[in-house]
Amino acid sequence: MNDRFSMEGRVAVITGGGTGIGRASALVLAERGADIVLAGRRVEPLKSTQSEIEALGRRAIAVPTDVTAAEQCQAVVDATLAEFGRLDVLLNNAGGGATKPLMKWTDEEWHQVLDLNLSSAWYLSRAAAKPMIEQGKGAIVNISSGASLLAMPQAPVYGAAKAGLNNLTGSMAAAWTRKGLRVNCIACGAVRTPGLEADAQRQGFDIDMIGQTNASGRIAEPDEIGYGVLFFASDASSYCSGQTLYMHGGPGPAGI
């Protein structure tokens, strides 16, 4: 039987690939045969994930990248083509943001969070789309957040950026699906990542309590989101484009 989840012979670029969802997704795709390009600002986590991928018998390179800079996003794509000769999957995973009352946000912080969560996907997707369209096939997966679908007074900029990413997913799918390039999005609920754990420590709350609000009664582990990425990156989702999948453990008692 043809394995539609196989990633054999494919190359994936993953931003924020050193930790959390990016690292987990890189390992999930590598386990199924993909070679991986890891992009992010911090070299040490990228190198650590690279070693894990190579231990699985797959090739990997780490490309230090500031995804808020358009020229560095293009450089990641160029490095991928130089090393592997092709690009099949782009995972726009890099992101993040602070939490504080709406009126305490500065204009500079507004632009920083928008650039990290939205502009980065714009820069990388357009750069990656060119070789994907030329080869007639490709998949872009964007990592969004439940904050894009809810009112988040403590995270208004992050929520706005991720809502923009959901919409951009649909627009890119409408432009590129007929050319062989599918674009989809995953809006995550709370995930056990270093970023969430650090935020919880700063604010003095237990991250596991967040999970009590959904039907599963827990937060997600990074590899659970990684399997959603595998679905959208592989031929298992060949008839799916322009979609935002909300992975949040199921509606809680309030129906959210």
**What is the β-pairing status of strands 89-92 and 138-145?**
parallel
Q: Is residue 64 helix, strand or coil?
A: strand
**Lookup: tokens for 161:** 């950026």
The CA distances from residue 215 to 188, 204, 242, 248, in Å, are 14, 24, 26, 9
Residue type, 111: H
Catalytic-role residue among 123, 158, 227, 246 = 158
Distance separating alpha carbons of residues 213 and 73, to the nearest angstrom? 37
246 assigned to active site: no
Strand partners, 186: 143, 245
Helix (H) or strand (E) holding 24: helix 20-31
Distance separating alpha carbons of residues 128 and 112, to the nearest angstrom? 23
Helices 156-176 & 107-114, crossing angle to 10 degrees?
40
- Measured CA angle at 29 (ends 25, 34), to 5 deg: 140
The residues assigned a catalytic role are: 158
